[in-house]
Amino acid sequence: MEKRNKALMPLALDLLLESLPADLGPEYRRRIEIMQRAVMGQSQAEICAALGCAQETARYWMSIAETGEVYKWKSHPLGRPKTINDQYLERLQELVSQSPREYGYPFQRWTAQWLSKHLAKELGIEVSGRHVNRLLKQMGLSTQLRPKIRKPETSEPLSKRRAGITIGDLQSASLPEFLGPSNLNNAVDGHQ
């Protein structure tokens, strides 16, 4: 930066601060104060201690002051850009209640990572799998829910449907010779 511009910078920042509207948020004022303090020669640690801001914030606005681009104080929106919209949330809710196989995937249950990938492909909005899990939790949903799979109706009584193999169903001939009834009794008694 030229020496002339560097000398005018504190004055420009002072004028800028004085001309700000009263209802302007404190975050914007802090940006300008960071730049002012940087131009006055304060270190990043001193600025963070005085203004209670994060080191990354101080570092960024200090670099803006060094390049002489103080006019950018308002051009950067505050916080992260909001990428999730109602359409995304509605689609996420629909997908979680359906099987991924309906969309050509080889697995039976969604993971947050796969929901994220699918929605990025479908809606062009990229978020992490961790964020998808947070969204699901906020909606009272989970990837642990299994999609409803319709089972065929059967007319058999419940007692017959739950019947399994019982000991009475085993054939004695199916036992190996060394486990036949006489050898089995000897093995249990410890005699052979």
Q: How many whole angstroms separate alpha carbon 88 and alpha carbon 109?
A: 19
Q: What confidence tier does 64 reach under pLDDT thresholds 50, 70, 90?
A: confident
Q: What is the pLDDT of residue 191?
A: 52
Q: Tell me if 145 sits within 8 A of 139, measured CB to CB.
A: no
For 81-120, how does the pLDDT look when each residue is reduced to its tens digit (9 = 90+)? 567 888 989 999 999 999 999 999 999 999 999 999 999 8
Task: Please report, for residues 6, 68, 82, 85, 122, the alpha-carbon distance to residue 89 in angstroms, rounded to integers and kept in the order given.
Answer: 49, 42, 13, 6, 13
- pTM for the model: 0.38
Residue 24 amino acid letter: L
Residue 149 amino acid letter: I
Q: What confidence tier does 79 reach under pLDDT thresholds 50, 70, 90?
A: low
For 122-155, how does the pLDDT look when each residue is reduced to its tens digit (9 = 90+)? 988 888 888 899 899 989 988 775 544 445 555 5
Q: Tell me if 37 sits within 8 A of 56, measured CB to CB.
A: no
Q: Tell me if 143 sits within 8 A of 161, measured CB to CB.
A: no
